[in-house]
Chain A
């Protein structure tokens, strides 16, 4: 369970988030909002990439302010542009990067890497240069790099924005099949239409909160 207790975030005296107080216990949570509404700042709080100016962020009793390192292993983060997330030049090496922090025995690390590559049909690309993958494959590699660390939660920040329709559908299926709790920021409302809960942000505040059937029509109206 995630607890956001009266959290505000300020950048250079500008409020990006104002007094957010929420409990998130659903398995699928969608976050929507216009650019600059605070949604990305909000999700960056969840794995400690962003510190709260005031208030407290708790993820399964891990305090973001105190347990940053543990929190990052507990909450995976997939960014919009996989090119900025893939740090090693070869596919299997990039997946292995996150495992270094876990200090797993070599056999276990190899097993996890092979399993995740097979899961996303990337086994044939194991020793392939990562920059030569397609956009969809790169995003699946970015997801693999996070999943291999077996996090309890995964945050996706606009994961399909840069993809064509086929790759968008492929990544959407991959996200839908995850066992983890998923928090997805997206402008692609179809991607989160069957989620359990949707939060809509505006000017650093949650202005809509509820089931997709209730929130999404109002959000569409709000953005018209």
Chain B
């Protein structure tokens, strides 16, 4: 869902500490779910969207963040319209959009390494109960890294199956994807070992 990773810049948000941005993200995520009025949540969303130009990002980048979840928003809107009313539908959609847009803005203005370093620091108190912050941080970075790689693999498999006339078969898509992903996981584990990660 996170369309864009870090884009270099000098805005106030770029300069802000990664830890503060993560805290703001948690606060916003919790806050919009505590607010029951759609106009207030819509105001929060509008403020988040306004932060994009303030941080040096134009409409193209704003659109790139919202586009991947548009279909999800439409489904949520329709379900809420069916179950409740239009106010409830707007509330749900603006909540999700505000959270996604702010999370994307944080990733656009913060280097992954800074985000992960902040998370590692935040997790340090959990070390005595067996949590290894370095390993958690590596796992998160790998999720960010491998989403586009697995998407590419899926696209290759889809093309190959289409060429064989199997474009409607879910099995023909899922089985090779799982096999290739597991093989890739083995190779990545080797690569991490080879680069001295303890």
How far does the Cβ of A184 sit from chain B's closest Cβ, in whole Å? 15
A44, A85, A97, A127: the one within 8 Å of B197 (CB): A97
Assess whether A89 is in contact with B5, with CB atoms less than 8 Å apart: yes
Size range of the interface on B?
Answer: 20 to 34
Is A174 in the interface zone, CB < 8 Å from B? Answer: no
Which A residues are CB-close (under 8 A) to B190?
44, 49, 79
Binary CB contact string for chain A from 129 to 173 against chain B (1 if under 8 A, 0 otherwise): 111000000000000011001000000000000000000000000
Provide the main secondary structure of the chain B interface. helix
B144 touches A89 (CB 8 A): yes
Check: B46 CB closer than 8 A to any chain A CB.
no
- Judged by DSSP, the binding face of A is helix
Chain A residues with Cβ below 8 Å from B111 are 90, 93, 127
Residues on B with beta carbons closer than 8 Å to the beta carbon of A87: 138, 141-142, 145, 188, 191-192, 195
Interface 9-residue window, one of A1-9, A11-19, A70-78, A214-222? A70-78
Q: How far is the CA of A129 from the CA of B152 in the complex (A)?
A: 15
With both chains docked as a complex, state the minimum distance between the C-beta of B160 and any C-beta of chain A, in angstroms. Answer: 17
Within the complex, the shortest CB–CB distance from B33 to chain A, in Å, comes to 28
Give bound CA distance, A147 to B37, whole Å: 56
9 extra interface residue pairs, beta carbon distance < 8 Å, beyond A76-B194, A131-B152: A44-B190, A77-B194, A85-B188, A87-B142, A87-B191, A93-B111, A100-B134, A100-B197, A129-B148
Q: List 12 A-B contacts (CB under 8 A).
A: A69-B198, A72-B196, A73-B196, A85-B188, A87-B141, A87-B195, A89-B5, A90-B113, A96-B113, A101-B195, A101-B196, A149-B196
* Partner-B contacts on A (CB < 8 A): 44, 47, 49, 69, 72-73, 76-77, 79, 81, 83-90, 92-93, 96-98, 100-102, 127, 129-131, 145-146, 149
